Amino acid sequence: MTKFSLLDHELVPKHEIMSEGELKSVLSKYFIDKEQLPKIKVQDPVIKEIGATIGDVVKITRMSHTAGEADYYRLVIE
């Protein structure tokens, strides 16, 4: 039996765990703390699939009609 990957579906945007360096850059760009980011639960199926853990920040890259690609950031919570 072949395992289905949620990330292969055309409606699921790209999700990736951010490195500490990338995260520091984003937080300083927006003058915010990590805890001020929007949240995503660790039980989310895509979060489980990419192996993110509580406290990680995930960068979600979505296609946008106006901006082309747009990045969103979510803090993984319990």
**Confidence class of residue 2 from pLDDT cuts 50, 70 and 90?**
low
Q: What is the CATH number of domain 10-77?
A: 3.90.940.20
Q: What ranges do the domains of the chain cover?
A: 10-77
Q: Identify the helix (H) or strand (E) that includes residue 59.
A: strand 57-64
CB within 8 Å of 77: residues ≥ 6 apart: 39, 40, 41, 42, 54
49-78 tens-digit pLDDT: 999 999 999 999 999 888 789 999 999 999
pTM: 0.87
